[in-house]
Amino acid sequence: MAGITFGEFLSDQRMSLPLVVTIQTCSGATYIVTGADKGLGFEAAKHLVEVSSKIRNTQAGNAAMADIEAATHTKNVVEVWELDLSSYASVKAFANKAITELDRIDALIENAGIAGSDWILSEGHEACITVNVISTVLLAVLLLPKMSAVAKRFSFIPHISVVTSGAGFFTADSPEWRKVESDPFEKLKDEKLADMSKRYPLSKIIQVFAIRQLAILADYNRTGVVVNLVGPGFCKTELSVNSPFVLRMSIKLGNMLIGRTAEMGSRTLLHGAIAGKESHGRYLGNCEVREDSVPAWMTNADGRGSQKRVWEDLAKEMDSIEPDCVSKIS
């Protein structure tokens, strides 16, 4: 797999995607959608409410819930739960509430993320790494045992679907990654090594490595849970509002030319939440399995070594946050 160039990505930016959720596939199911206050998460939550799913609409607040209920003419389906991915305590509290109060979790759609231009520390790490990588993977690890148990009890296939980005795929070999690959999480805390204009794509590279390794350890045949990654493509959202100026302008231009609406982009999230078991550990795009989009430098022998190294460092961090949580998934 050689991956794709930026030009190939642009030419593959389909403007019409299928809507895969229906009353038959989703009615009565329970979904957790992070970052559902706007953009892709908001539109995905609306679609799920329309097919009578129960939504735990995190980070949305009552205003977003009211908007969803008004748009769908449906009440008493959405619940707003507090989740702050910049706080490990908040992640643990949210996971404990879900484990304790929910009979089932049909899908965890991890859509929340940040793309900032300023160096800000959160839980001892630069905030983009804390939110996009550590807390995102930690939430998946904490909820996976519960999802595996209820899958066997109710005979259905739950999904952990992490919304990532192909932003880091378009170089033959990422220079930013090479700066930190030998000791990722320590070097990512070094402000002197950081290029904040590249931090968001770098966080997504590390996120892809981490989730692919999680999928190996949490093998579908053992857990019954599908773990996959979704690349929604260029979408007109507010994600880049705090990005460095040059990056923000590039994204704005791209969206003007080929950007999908947030509603159209949300269809990729919904596909990830119900995709077949063949999507386990895979990268999805355009509502299809798109492993061909992942560059060879991430999948060859060196890439597999990097993936394991990322996971080893991340596992130590997660076990320091919640002791023995990693051992419960393997």
Yes or no: say if 23 and 51 are a contact pair by the CB < 8 Å rule: yes
Residue 1 lies in a domain: no
Residue 317 lies in a domain: yes
Give per-residue pLDDT as tens, 87-107.
999 999 999 999 999 999 999
Residue 299 lies in a domain: yes
Give per-residue pLDDT as tens, 305-325.
999 999 999 999 999 999 999
| C-alpha to C-alpha distance for 207 and 190, rounded to whole angstroms | 19
Residue 147 lies in a domain: yes
Q: How many independent structural domains does the chain possess?
A: 1
Q: Provide the residue range defining the domain that includes 234.
A: 6-329
Residue 12 lies in a domain: yes
For the chain, state the CA radius of gyration: 18
Residue 137 lies in a domain: yes
Beta strands (DSSP E) in the chain are 30-33, 54-57, 78-79, 107-110, 121-122, 125-126, 159-163, 226-231, 283-285, 288-289
Residue 259 lies in a domain: yes
Give per-residue pLDDT as tens, 124-156.
999 999 999 999 999 999 999 999 999 999 999
Residue 299's pLDDT band, with cuts at 50, 70 and 90, is: very high
Residue 85 lies in a domain: yes
pLDDT in the model for residue 312: 97
Which pTM does this prediction carry? Answer: 0.92
Q: Residue 73: which CATH number?
A: 3.40.50.720
Residue 1's pLDDT band, with cuts at 50, 70 and 90, is: very low
For residues 184-203, give the mean pLDDT: 94
